Structure 1
Amino acid sequence: MVGPYQRFKGGSNFVQHGYTRGDGLGAEIIGTFVLVYTVFSATDAKRNARDSHVPLLAPLPIGFAVFLVHLATIPITGTGINPARSLGAAIIFNRDLAWNDQWIFWVGPFIGAALAAVYHQIIIRAIPFKSGRV
């Protein structure tokens, strides 16, 4: 009899049947981009100056972004978006399935996070800041 640990592959991340490694990499890049961009936007110092309630409410959009990314990418890769989480599960499960696609769960988040940082810094931060003062 197979227990839940074996049935769910030890919680390790891998590209699901029916998807290519390119699909998995794209899902990880986009998912990480959405999460990191949301964190940058929700905690931006320029926005804090304009919206005094932002630091108090920042966890709400961040948590919602994590929720949406999981809904979209669990069927494709099991949602990595964090190399440490993917590596830890692969080490514990330690089967070929967990290691075959491990590079996707490192490369995807690094590319997604870098793109979000560049987009936020060059595009969003470049928009002139208008204060509410007259």
Structure 2
Amino acid sequence: MIVVVIILAELNLGIGLSLPILLVSYLISFIFWFKNGTKPAAWIKNDKLHIRDGAFGTDIVHKKLVESMRYETGHKRAVAGSRSGEETDMHVMVIKMKGFDEWTLPIKDLVEHGANLRLYKFIKENFYDLKLVKK
């Protein structure tokens, strides 16, 4: 929204045109926020596991193509924007699908997915009997 306000200020369109543009931008932003906020962190539909990754991304795993899966804890990743080399925890799913090499899927959002191994338990109970590996 701040970007829209700055652009409108630079264009000098006047209050009569700027206000409707600002209101429409705000409404679109609210709808996008509400839509993503009400979507679960992970769900299963038509034998496909959907894992939400932030506001924009969704990773999809097709059950009929899975040969093996494991959920690994104890991994680290660099904190974005940190100059001191700070690291944070991360979980990883390693998936072997028919006809492909193993695929490593980082699970970065531990607030949604990692608390009490929520994602691991959801997948194990509802989708695939994966193994838990603690590193």
Identify the TM-score tier after normalising by the shorter chain: under 0.3
Structure with higher Rg: it is 2
TM-score (norm 1): 0.26
Higher relative CO (Cα under 8 Å, sequence separation at least 6) belongs to 1
